[in-house]
Structure 1
Amino acid sequence: MRNLLLATGLIATATMAAAQDRPVLTVYTYDSFVSDWGPGPAVEEAFEAQCACDLQFVGAGDGAALLSRLRLEGARTDADIVLGLDTNLTAAARETGLFAPHGVDADFDMPIAWTDDTFLPFDWGYFAFVADADLQAPGDFRALGDSDTTIVIQDPRSSTPGLGLVMWVKAAYGDEAGAVWEGLADNIVTVTPGWSEAYGLFLEGEADMVLSYTTSPAYHLIAEDDATKTAVQMAEGHYMQVEVAAKLAGTDQSDLADQFLSFMLTDAFQSVIPTTNWMYPAKTPEAGLPEGFETLITPGKALLLNPEEARAMRDAAIAEWQAALAR
């Protein structure tokens, strides 16, 4: 028995030592990605099965908060990869000088061509207001502002959906965006730091609609067998979001980071996206999209500012939003 206990102890010690010897890859991302119901757990298991490493996700609030954290940490950051910026932020992220080219040559199944050599897409979608299917929802922003319909939105300074909304209004209305926000101001019940808080308030009945995605009703249909939620079709069109990942130039795990970025475009990663992140995968898995995605609305017009346009308009768009809500 003593020999058996000794052997067991030696095995446990060896196992712990082996685990400690594994290289660590640190990925900064947004909170919902690493939640129990998000893609993080499945992605971590699949990647660790092939990398002989320890993949560690670090939640850093919502998407826009990622860039703020990286700016604060600078070259001292512990991150090897950041996952969860979008095209409204990539030009500003590139200016930091913190990122390295990805070196990945790939084709994508997205409505737009992709040529960025630093930021690599992993999913995409369209912003939308989600409501109960029986709501007689206004079908454009001006009509929404003239109505009594209540909405919950996210803060564009911390949240990529919140930033997406102000860019959506700016892309659709240009110089008239400020007036549109003045009309919308009294429809807004509250502004939350991130998507999770806003969607939770909507589900609790605190507002008629919530800023989310055209794909959000697929969650209720597939995961909950609930067909009572819908995305509202907007006459102006819908603003696209393309979410990206990138390698930090100062990483001490460069090869492992490259391995992760390549893995991100495989079926093992992409097949997880539709039913955990509830977005469209950047590369459609071999099995295709899950049943239920065919029921989603298709925007009549896709709106998207390129990264440089988004950077140029961002401050003005946020200022218009702030001015309207301050009145």
Structure 2
Amino acid sequence: MNRSLILALGLLATPVMAQDKPVLTVYAPDYFASEWGPGPAIETAFEAICECDLEYKTGDLLPRLMLEGDKTDADVGIGFTTDETRRARETGLFAPHEQDVTGLTLPVEWDDDVFLPFNWGHTAFVYDTDYVSDPPASFDALVDAPEDAYRIAIQDPRTSISGLALILWVKSIYGDEAGDVWEELAPKILTVTKGWSEAYGLFSEGEADMVLSFTTSPAYHIIAEGDETVKAAIFPEGHYFMVEQVAKLAGTDVPELADQFMGFVLSETFQSLIPEANWSMPAKLPADRLPEGFQQLEMPEKVLFYDEETAFELRDAAIDEWVAALRR
């Protein structure tokens, strides 16, 4: 090959090499990176400041990380809940986030040095006032209602974080009587879906009177549809609090980039995207900065919450109670 050809090829290759950027690989649940989730907007905002390429790999977050172990390609994992962080922590795959968590707008104190919260919400039964004129005023009222009073769509706690939150919600209110409560609720349960989207789809199509969702769900209908008929039933017994978190992988090969992303999570840019992209409450954004539709929401006065140790200890027995009741 002559020298002029070598020089020409080298000149052609130079712009391509100059465009190479470091890649931050973020493992996330399917919903997060979908076109209707917060992932795309977060990707755009972060890439504008990081001079990098943020790439999502989606699927079952924790099971995938546990399977891959220290050979994982992940630099960051996003979408963990406190009902599963005990198992995640035990893998030893994660490093401290090293972020300042003062000023969080959570309804509980937060001091975890590994898992960093980015949004939160309360589980709730959501209904449409056009179809349900007499919603239950309490959890007891829902349990005691006639069998044909409501057709409720819920999610499976074995495959859904919201479904798991539901059985922990019931456990936190009723304790040892949770199994009996599920037997009372079983005839009112129209269907159990694998995930949240399937259940909410049935509700949206009018096939279910009520759906297990979150106290923030009505905000979507208010803001995106101009519809104020969708409400969350607020119960005096309290509502189970669920927070989603992000963590840095200890084995990341781009640690400075991963740290930059962890810092970005609590930035106003990131947090301001959460309400209307994830339809949940941001972890660090003052109430007066929330969209108007969120400021209209009814919120529970009592927050129910299990720390990760308690949630871990209760999980299997609570699922067994649920399965036994629904099989009868």
Write the deviation string for residues 56-112 of structure 1: whole angstroms up to 9, x where unpaired. Answer: 12221xxxx322222222222221111111111111211111111111123211111
**Secondary structure in 2 aligned to 1:271?**
helix
Q: CA deviation at 1:235?
A: 3.0
> Where do 1:83-94 residues align within 5 Å?
83-94=78-89
- 1:101–1:247: 8 Å Cα contact kept in structure 2? yes
* Equivalent AA in structure 1 for residue 76 of structure 2: I
1:3 — aligned with what? none
Q: CA deviation at 1:142?
A: 3.9
- 1:125–1:242: 8 Å Cα contact kept in structure 2? yes
**Is there any run of 5+ residues in structure 2 with no aligned partner, and where?**
1-8
CA RMSD of aligned residues (A): 1.9
Separation in structure 1 between the aligned mates of residue 11 and residue 164 of structure 2, nearest angstrom = 52
- After TM superposition, the score normalised by the length of structure 2 is 0.91
1:275 — aligned with what? 276
1:318 — aligned with what? 319
1:57 — aligned with what? 56
2:163 — aligned with what? 162
Separation in structure 2 between the aligned mates of residue 290 and residue 220 of structure 1, nearest angstrom = 13
Q: CA deviation at 1:10?
A: 10
Q: CA deviation at 1:37?
A: 2.0
* Equivalent AA in structure 2 for residue 24 of structure 1: V
> Where do 1:100-119 residues align within 5 Å?
100-107=95-102, 108-119=104-115
Write the deviation string for residues 283-321 of structure 1: whole angstroms up to 9, x where unpaired. Answer: 116970001212211213110011111111111111111
Q: Residue 13 and residue 128 in structure 1: after superposition, are their counterparts in 2 closer, same or farther (change >3 A)? A: farther
Matched, 1:211 2:212: yes
Tell which deviates more after alignment, 70-79 or 88-97: 70-79
Greater C-alpha Rg: 2
Aligned length: 314
Q: Residue 252 and residue 143 in structure 1: after superposition, are their counterparts in 2 closer, same or farther (change >3 A)? A: same
Write the deviation string for residues 175-210 of structure 1: whole angstroms up to 9, x where unpaired. Answer: 011111111112222222211111111111121111
- 2:101–2:111: 8 Å Cα contact kept in structure 1? no
- 1:270–1:285: 8 Å Cα contact kept in structure 2? no
Q: CA deviation at 1:229?
A: 0.4
1:258 — aligned with what? 259
Matched, 1:137 2:132: no
Matched, 1:294 2:292: no
**Secondary structure in 1 aligned to 2:240?**
strand
- 1:141–1:180: 8 Å Cα contact kept in structure 2? no
2:47 — aligned with what? 48
1:36 — aligned with what? 35
Separation in structure 1 between the aligned mates of residue 173 and residue 197 of structure 2, nearest angstrom = 26
Q: Residue 253 and residue 144 in structure 1: after superposition, are their counterparts in 2 closer, same or farther (change >3 A)? A: same
Separation in structure 1 between the aligned mates of residue 215 and residue 265 of structure 2, nearest angstrom = 23
2:116 — aligned with what? 120
Q: Residue 46 and residue 185 in structure 1: after superposition, are their counterparts in 2 closer, same or farther (change >3 A)? A: same
- After TM superposition, the score normalised by the length of structure 1 is 0.91
**Is there any run of 5+ residues in structure 1 with no aligned partner, and where?**
1-8
1:74 — aligned with what? 69
Separation in structure 2 between the aligned mates of residue 287 and residue 18 of structure 1, nearest angstrom = 44
Separation in structure 1 between the aligned mates of residue 229 and residue 190 of structure 2, nearest angstrom = 22
Q: CA deviation at 1:144?
A: 2.2
Q: CA deviation at 1:16?
A: 4.3
- 1:267–1:286: 8 Å Cα contact kept in structure 2? no
Q: Residue 218 and residue 10 in structure 1: after superposition, are their counterparts in 2 closer, same or farther (change >3 A)? A: farther
2:26 — aligned with what? 27
**Secondary structure in 2 aligned to 1:273?**
helix
Q: Residue 53 and residue 172 in structure 1: after superposition, are their counterparts in 2 closer, same or farther (change >3 A)? A: same
